[in-house]
Structure 1
Amino acid sequence: MHVSDDLHVSDGAPVAEGEAQEENDSLILGEGDASLRIGMRQGDDAWIARHIDKGYAWLPEQALGMLLPPALSMERLGAVSFDKGCFPGQEIAARLHFLGGHKRHLRIVRSDVALQEGHSLHVDGREVGIVLMQHTYSSSPTSLVVLDDTMSQAETLESEGIRLHVLSTFAE
């Protein structure tokens, strides 16, 4: 994954959570047990698996402007507050939150084949989610997806011939 044609995201050594520093034309963002390095290509892509496991979503271009904070489970990160603040869509997001109307949430799924980031998931011809990130662990690809709550009740579902195993959720 890259930020731009010149900048890349890679894994870095442990840095205190929330700490940011500059080093050799790179921005380093601390995550406690590791860090993200944004700059020239260095290190590896281990951060992708870590971010999937923690539910730190990086949005593919196809998902930009499509998802509200509850779908990304941002409240658990302290990244959004429904009691105060102002951001585009805040009024709608707060209404959905307090009325229990938001029916899509962040999930980790394992699949038989690698899913494409930005790919819409369909079950019985109905769109039920979108793939945000994916990483291949040996022969079992793992992805971070936003999925309809009705679909995540089952441990396994099939989307366009691909079996998805819902592993966990980040819903509050």
Structure 2
Amino acid sequence: MAGLELLSEQGYRVDGRRAGELRQLRARLGVFAQADGSAYLEQGNTKALAVVYGPHEILQADGGNYCASVNAATLAVIDAGIPMRDYVCACSAGFVEDTALADLNYVEEAAGGPQLALALLPKSDQIALLEMNARLHEDHLERILEAASKACKDIYLVLDQVVREHLQEVTALLGK
């Protein structure tokens, strides 16, 4: 992928987002009635399905596969009614042309620059997992971690809203 411009002079990425912007995020809980808990999550063109009673393969991959799977699994655990002190929210981040990018898509991952996956407990800011795939100068580490951390917190807001809406739907159904 040599020569591919991942960041325009105006600061836009190949898919039109700014450096810290998430891809479109959609999620649903309770997609399998026969499972103890399940969730479906779309993050950009990456689609993930998580079921508490066992793993399923990723439905479609467009980058951030591991992170999307962690987010879907968090929703499935919540749907199963398993108590959790905090959500586990994950997001990838990379570094291109002196700019930290949050929520990498496939093209950005395939470009081969420094990348990390961060799984964060957003309420306490505790890191559950931090994985890097390439060397990164220590001067850039804080910026890429900040981008990933902010993105994890943005994901938390979306996931929490999905959980709240699902609880309202279930409560309404039980009340009838």
| Structure ranking higher in helix proportion | 2
TM-score by length of 2: 0.23
Structure (1/2) with the larger strand percentage = 1
